[in-house]
Homo-oligomer: A and B are copies of this chain.
Amino acid sequence: MKKQKRTTIYDIAKKLNLNASSVSRALSNNSNVSEATRQLILATAKELNYQQNSMASNLRKGQNQTIGVIVPHINQNFFADIIAGLEEVTYQKGYNLVICQSNESYLREIKCVNTLINQHVSCIAISICADFEDDSHLRNIKEHGIPLIQFDRVTDTLDTFKVLNDNEQASMEAVSHMIEQGYKRIALLEGPQNLNIFRQRKEGYLKALKKHNYPLVPELIKENAWTKELGAESTRQLLSLPEPPDAIFASTSDFSALGVLEVATKKGLKVPEELGICGYSNEPFTEITSPSITTIDQYSVSMGKAIANLYFQEIDFMDNGSHPQTVSIKPQLIVRSSTLRNKNRV
């Protein structure tokens, strides 16, 4: 009742009184077959509606032209863009993409890794979950001889290829920009510090303060404010300080920055005059809020392409244990109204 039998190279061979090996050669179309028989074979293949069985071919060849990707969430702009970029390049190369989402769960991330190892994918690209505990599953990837590329959220306990945003530099630029706009007390909304990206963004903030001889005020730093709601809550707390901030850098995300903006608006604070706001990621909506939100573009589609290109360029080196390379993507500060309070525009 299930699946009628599909045409195989044997069916073609039988019909033409040839050996299956000839058929295989003609179809892979790079070996020695006479032009005459090749044409015959291609014609009957079309006639019988032949489609290669990749499972068999891959098993025999020992690899499957597939890149596995693991992301916390597929449906977040940043990751969706990365995947789109990845897909673009892998498609050009005739590779496929298998996608898994960890849902920010460590256990699920491990399961995804195992599935991809079982599938003998050619490469695994991963951005680790917020819940990350240790790197044993990542080591397992390497132990099975599969090239591993970490991107964006990475662990440094493991020496792998990496594609990163220069979060520290971008944060530093953002905060410096706010300082140049005359803001005096700049608060930081930070994300989970077990993720490298959030540590780096904090580092950038600290460096910018230092560079401009600004004091570090601990009460202006709020942990774990990486959703709109948490951003709003932190803002309420910050604004009720005896000496409230005159600017807030939502280093976690634009969603957090949106929470800041909403609270500020509700309290009747003028943005950017009384409160400056800067987000992170350049989500589409930052352009259309009132005022529009200053943020940082991460070039996520390019990042996806960079990951794929790294694989295809380094594929030969990846196996022989040469020192893994790190590609850094430079994010760009997008200055908009929410931080522009004096005339001398940047």
> Interface residues, chain A, CB within 8 Å of chain B?
1-4, 6, 49, 51-56, 58-59, 62-64, 66, 73-77, 80-81, 83-84, 87, 91, 96-101, 108, 114-115, 117-120, 140, 143-145, 258, 284-285, 288-290, 301, 319-320
Contacts and interface: CB of A to CB of B under 8 A. Distances in A.
Of the candidates A55, A76, A115, A289, the one having the most CB atoms from chain B within 10 angstroms of its own CB is A55
Nearest to A103: B88
A211 B325 CA distance: 65
A143 B151 CA distance: 40
Contacts of A285: 284-285, 288
A80 B87 contact: no
A75 B64 contact: no
A74 B55 contact: no
A118 B87 contact: no
A98 to B, nearest CB: 6
A104 to B, nearest CB: 13
A51 B98 contact: no
Contacts of A120: 53-55
Given A54-B119, A101-B87, A140-B49, A3 B145 contact: yes
Nearest to A49: B143
12 contacts: A3-B63, A3-B319, A55-B55, A55-B59, A75-B80, A75-B84, A76-B80, A87-B99, A91-B108, A97-B99, A284-B285, A285-B288
